[in-house]
Amino acid sequence: MREPDGTVRPAYADFAELLDDLSIESLVTKQAAAEELFRRLGITFAVYAEGGSTERLIPFDLIPRILAQSEWELVQRGCVQRVKAINIFLYDIYHDQEIIKAGLVPPEFVLLNPAYRPEMHGVEPPNKVYAHIAGIDLVRTGESDFFVLEDNVRTPSGVSYVLENREIMMRLFPDAFAGQSISPVGNYPERLLENLRAVAPGGAESPVVVLLTPGRYNSAYFEHVFLAEQMGVELVEGGDLFVRDGYVWMRTTEGPVKVDVIYRRVDDTFMDPLAFNPQSALGIPGLLSVIRSGRVALANALGTGVADDKAMYCYVPRMIEFYLGEHAILNNVLTYMLRDPKQRQHVFNNLHNLVVKEVQGSGGYGMLIGPASTAEEREAYKLRVMQNPENYIAQPTLALSTAPTLIDGEIVPRHVDLRPFVLSGKETSVIPGGLTRVALVKDSLVVNSSQGGGTKDTWVLERG
């Protein structure tokens, strides 16, 4: 919010004035009102470490993160560039594999990747889009230095918090929205639906779109219900859909209805028990054959997980240069591959300064944050890595930017990241702002909600 000399940054000028006119007591009252609204709306997530059905309110901080238009343009261009390259890469690895032939990506990183789906080889998705919805996790380390931490292109979540956070902020601070021009985010469901309809097979005029959820025990179930309601589409579980005559159908009280597009929030392995996990009760038997015949579109497509593998992340700048002929706008974090003995030894020698992650991990689980760990934890983690070094990467801990946060009646700095959401259909676009996640514990760098992090509204100021 402030420059190093203590002056308020221009983007925050109006909100800083508004804060000056409010007492801490009134801010605490607004915070309590926000929490009550979240509780009433049922905005929750489940914590798997506590049994999978423990519902928690996601902590919300009412001091927004504010970006000037020039800052946002850099982020927006970088995210669009990145997702375009990832979509071309996914099309390539399931067709001609030019990037592998060019020697720019090791073949085993693709072909032996657990997320690679050979069943998708040769499949032609509409508009050649695999990742229809992507979440790009960014951290800021300097004035114009944004680093990508990871690309989420399987089933990225969190956009419901972006929309609900904005709704609550407009109730709590109506004057702030009246006094300055803040880019709206409320049209996300319409834009998402438009993108989903754009990839319907055969250019159906009024395509039927459904949102497939694993059910109410999933950590993001609130979001599944919310998005289906906002888009005006049916929320379905695997048992609501079936395959017949080469098409996917939805059971309704008025008889079967043909489905054109499935926005799925179910992992690959559970999508079709005939093709993948035979024990799955979450998917639709025979779905893969309908996808392969081009009679239903799946968003995101099967096999997209290759591109958000944390080892594959290292090669995204090469993808951008190879497919787009451009340099990456957003930086990658220096990443060590623990499968390589030399890099592994370097990481082990410097474990106290590094973050180690599982390549297929998510939600902040299974990580070691070196600076916050004990010698015993580091030794135990080394043994874990040695059992399967290919499963781990390491990165230096970055000096994440901080944002003002209301904690226990005080405004204090806390570390934040940013997840913009990128939509791909006929075109690729980014929702202004995105999800700002905040580490609520002093000096902590872990922002994941599953690890106790919270969220903020993200404001992008429009010109003028």
Report cis status (omega within 30 of 0) of the bond before 152.
Answer: no
Q: Is there a contact between 95 and 443 (Cβ–Cβ < 8 Å)?
A: no
What is the enclosing helix (H) or strand (E) of 13?
Answer: helix 13-20
pLDDT score, position 219: 81
For the record, the structure tokens of 113 come out as 């990747």
| Alpha-helical segments (H) within 42-120 | 69-93, 98-101, 107-111
pLDDT score, position 37: 87
Give CA angle at 221 (30, 437), nearest 5°. Answer: 45
Between CA 399 and CA 348 the distance in angstroms is 21
pLDDT score, position 220: 87
Strand spans (E) along 224-364: 234-236, 241-244, 247-250, 257-259, 261-264, 297-299, 331-332, 336-337, 354-358
Residue pointed to by tokens 């979240």: 38
pLDDT score, position 399: 80
Give CA angle at 25 (21, 31), nearest 5°. Answer: 100
pLDDT score, position 183: 95
Q: Is there a contact between 312 and 99 (Cβ–Cβ < 8 Å)?
A: no
The domains located in the chain, with CATH, are 10-333+398-460 (no CATH), 334-397 (3.30.1490.270)
For the record, the structure tokens of 52 come out as 């999978």
Residue-by-residue pLDDT tens, the chain, 464 positions: 998 898 999 999 999 999 999 999 999 999 999 988 888 877 766 555 545 455 677 889 999 999 999 999 999 999 999 999 999 999 999 999 999 999 999 999 999 999 999 999 999 998 999 999 999 999 998 888 899 999 999 989 999 999 999 999 999 999 889 878 999 999 999 999 999 999 999 877 899 999 999 998 888 898 999 999 999 999 999 999 999 999 999 999 999 999 999 999 999 999 999 999 999 999 999 999 999 999 999 999 999 999 988 889 999 999 999 999 999 999 999 999 999 999 999 999 999 999 998 887 665 567 888 888 899 999 999 999 999 998 899 999 888 899 999 999 999 999 999 999 999 998 999 999 999 999 988 888 777 766 678 999 999 999 64
pLDDT score, position 52: 47
Q: Give me the residues paired with residue 332 across strands.
A: 148
pLDDT score, position 54: 58
